[in-house]
Structure 1
Amino acid sequence: MHSISFDIRKFLISRVGIRFFSIILTILLSLVVAGTLTEFCVGSKTHRRSEFINAFISRNSDSDLYSGIVTNGTTNNGISNMSSSTPNGGINKPGGHINGGFEMRDVGHSASRHDPRHRVSGSASHGLKILGSDEDPVHRRSSSTVNADGEASHQSEVKSKLPNGDYTDDLPSFYPFRKSVTGRNWLAGPYSRLEERDDPMRRHEKPQDETAHLSKWQRLLLAFSLPHNAGKILSVKAVPGSIGCLHGIRVLSMGWVILGHVIIFGAATNFKNRADIYSQIETLLFQVIINAPLSVDTFFFMSGLLTAYLFLKECGKTEKVTLKQGIMYYVHRYWRLTPPLLIWMMIVATLVQYVGEGRPGWSDYASAQPCRDSWWVNMLYIQNLYIEKSGCMGETWYLANDMQFYMLAPLVMIPWVYKQRILGHIMAALLLSIHLASNAWLVYEYNFDILRNNEGGDYSNKLYFRPWARVGPFAIGLVVGYILYKTKCKVHLNKYVVALGWILAIGIMFTVTLITYDENKDLTSDPSGWPVAGKTVYEMLSRPMWAVMLGWIVIACATGYGGFINSILSWEGFLPLSRLTYCAYLIHLTIIGYEFIGAESTYLYTVTNLIYRFFGFYVMSYAVAFLLAVGVEAPMLGLEKVLLSR
């Protein structure tokens, strides 16, 4: 009877599961087609233009490019650097004076990289005026005004165009230094401070909803529009309220994840000269690859930072947490993560096994059975606790940890909202203490080492996947998010403190990533490695110290002390890739596995070959991620916006 029941269950899983996935896929494709037709029929043409055409116009216009951008100037001498075709008398040349022409005048708002809605108005005797982002970016309008002498004059209004494609007075994100713009002065330099009103915390103002004139059903369909979603994903326009450097950190960390997995898969399955890889482990530079797991701690840190920053930003205004906010806090997170995970898991459970059919070992690696048996474990985000049932998409252990940390975060953040600062700090310290204590005990008890045979247990299952051993960076991220919120990203530090902060951060970064060279330099001759005490200290402190280093980088970049590092991390080209990182994480192991598992030929490990394959996997992961994002993730977020009205 039991065998009959099992056969029926297997039949239902195989047949009904595939049919159910086919139905879901058909519905999604139908909605995408309907949404795309809605976009072209009744959708917002303004949106499509702002994302595609406007970016082209702003980069190819011969006039007014960079208008409104003043570099290394102050209101005392009127120095400006503009490439507008307006009369010379209206614009000061370097070394000019305010009385000679263009004068920046504070109108109660600041123009900064933080708030594209803020404007700076310039006035001069010739009536030149730089406008914000609400006017027509292509055409000029004429109107009458009264100049300083009380006489009527002709005024030309020019729309500001920036090199990042935005028609706004927002400073482009790739500018080498942060500049604050007020009526008092312009600051430029590697450690320039933000002015009082250059405040990223004021960027909560919602942009104008271009679909407000549409019916609810039309907006629901528009959420599935390919042009609409592709425009949002590929746009290089930062979302108001975002911290620019996080985009670069996120994209670079994803590259580190892929690089580490390329080495792991290649060494385990497909590199013919594995002995050369083991010899490389003894080199200093290879420690960067060995410590690639720190990239996951980077994601935990950023998750904690954004969780606290956005939660406090929303609830801090009223200094209370309503029931609706509490419910939506959890609903949004589950809605954000689950649809892409569910669809990709269904693909893994039904289709992936047939892609590499016939390749030796592929049927075992891409077996659909684990996902058919334990899909519910992934849906509940408990695969890091239910290890024996976590065979479906093993990389999702990270999502389980992240979800569990997110569920616990209000224990830290709610006291902060209600001005119980000490209690919130104690709760954050408690989470960090759990991390330190669990790592210390587990490593000391089992002599764990990430590279060597472990005595008495599996390093991954008992330590690496477990939430209590990984919560430290998330807790530090919560504290950093709280600092950014409380200081409104305006931290005034002298140059010595800034220099010391960067020296310590760089020192921590190199120490954490390279100190393992001391343990691995004699791996073949002395496989025992560090003594237990050394391993314990490293496992206990390495991840929290890494998060502290990241905390300084984010605070420095967000408050104007980031210099060229902030310019690199905030580069606008990172934005589209940053939006695709979650889907790329879900997908990348399947792509790497397909190349290495069961391949007909083996590969020779060389640095050149490693770089070649790394970039190939990186590009392929993000290319497939784009399809998953534009077809699933973006539509689901659009539905949330329409249905739940966050």
Structure 2
Amino acid sequence: MRRLGAGPLWNQVVTVESDACRQYWWTHLLYINNYIYDDNQCMPQTWYLAADTQLFAIGLVFCIVARTQRARKIILGLMMIVSLLTPALHTYFEDLEAIVFQGPENVKSIYKTDNVFRHVYIAAHTNLASYTLGMGGGLLAYHWLTEGKDFEHFKKYRFFLWLIFPIDTLVILSGAFFYGDARASLTLRVIYAALYKPVFQLLVVFLTIFIIFKSEKVYRGIVEWRGFTWTGRVSYSAFLVHTLFLRAIAGSFVQPVHLTDFFVLVILSASIFLSFAAAAILWLCVEAPAKQLISAAMKPRPRVQDTKI
């Protein structure tokens, strides 16, 4: 991408990522790039993949260690306590803000100087609460499925389920409270930093369980729409490449730009189209063939029966 364009900000916005990837490529192979972020501007959006992989490893250890239902409850409870304490302690002892502020300087630097982003937002241990709730919800759903739990009588509460999406949206937007002129108290910042992700995830887990047991049709019809099949296949590649186009667009400007709602909509539409077009090519040429090769290599060979008499 560094050779495809030019502009006053091209080196600062585009070339800097190429240089960082030459130096920090190994952190992505080891999935530790979310903990080495100070000067690492190589595909910064992949912090999520690193955190998810680290939490998945914790989940594997949990499945190996917690063999009984009692052990699962105890370990999940301890994990939940630790996961609530970690973002709270970071916020308290470092005197951090409750949220990541979306300002020009943060966006320009890709948050490399924002301690809330680096120490709380992208780290695996500060995202453990959501993963713990997800594991607990999955185990609960599996337990109810195996025992054939009847959810028919819960259908009369489906109107309350429809409120989950608006409530989750309000949870996201609630961070706007901290954009005021006066800084919020440390106590409020600590409480919000500890609870806003778990509250959001708890509602998601609650809705997911009711969709699994077919107690709700509106949200279930949306998430099971077959139109999402294609976008689901290319979403990983789109996730990886979308920032390349955003950086290229920003680095190509040769003069100040007046940001109107229409201009932002045009940039957003162009970025989405280019990202999914490139993702479709990557899926056809790289991801799908690699998947077939891995499946063929991992497929067990059929046993040859001895026909000798």
* Range into which the TM-score falls when normalised by the shorter chain: 0.7 to 0.9
- Asked if the contact 2:154/2:215 (under 8 Å) is kept, the reply is no
Give, in whole Å, the separation in 2 of the partners of 1:642 and 1:553: 37
Deviations 1:358-388 (A, max 9, x none): 3222123333222112211111111122234
Asked if 1:362 is matched to 2:5, the reply is no
Partner of 1:414: 64
Asked if 1:519 is matched to 2:178, the reply is yes
Give, in whole Å, the separation in 2 of the partners of 1:457 and 1:574: 35
1:196-595 paired onto structure 2 within 5 Å: 352-356=1-5, 358-367=6-15, 368-388=18-38, 390-415=40-65, 418=67, 420-449=68-97, 450-451=100-101, 458-488=115-145, 491-493=149-151, 494-495=153-154, 498-499=157-158, 502=161, 505-506=164-165, 508-520=167-179, 523=180, 526=181, 528-595=182-249
The Cα shift of 1:602 comes to: 4.0
TM-score by structure 1 length? Answer: 0.41
Give, in whole Å, the separation in 1 of the partners of 2:244 and 2:123: 23
TM-score by structure 2 length? Answer: 0.83
Structure 1's 452 and 375: CA in aligned 2 closer, same or farther, altered over 3 A? closer
- Asked if the contact 1:381/1:400 (under 8 Å) is kept, the reply is yes
The Cα shift of 1:510 comes to: 3.9
Structure 1's 530 and 496: CA in aligned 2 closer, same or farther, altered over 3 A? farther
Note the aligned Cα RMSD (angstroms): 2.6
- Asked if the contact 1:377/1:389 (under 8 Å) is kept, the reply is no
Greater share of strand residues, 1 or 2?
1
Structure 1's 376 and 519: CA in aligned 2 closer, same or farther, altered over 3 A? closer
- Asked if the contact 1:414/1:424 (under 8 Å) is kept, the reply is no
SS of the residue 2:7 aligns to: coil
> In the comparison of the two structures, how many residue pairs are matched?
286
Deviations 1:252-296 (A, max 9, x none): xxxxxxxxxxxxxxxxxxxxxxxxxxxxxxxxxxxxxxxxxxxxx
Structure 1's 492 and 606: CA in aligned 2 closer, same or farther, altered over 3 A? farther
Q: Which of 1 and 2 has higher RCO (CA within 8 Å, sep 6+)?
A: 2
The Cα shift of 1:435 comes to: 2.1
Give 2:136's aligned amino acid: V
Partner of 2:279: 625
Deviations 1:401-457 (A, max 9, x none): 1111111112222356x4x01212332333332221111111122332222899x97
Percent of counterpart pairs with the same letter?
A: 21
The Cα shift of 1:500 comes to: 7.2
The Cα shift of 1:618 comes to: 1.4
Give, in whole Å, the separation in 2 of the partners of 1:586 and 1:626: 12
Asked if 1:644 is matched to 2:298, the reply is yes
Any gaps of 5 or more consecutive residues in structure 1? Answer: 1-351
Give, in whole Å, the separation in 2 of the partners of 1:604 and 1:557: 44
The Cα shift of 1:504 comes to: 6.4
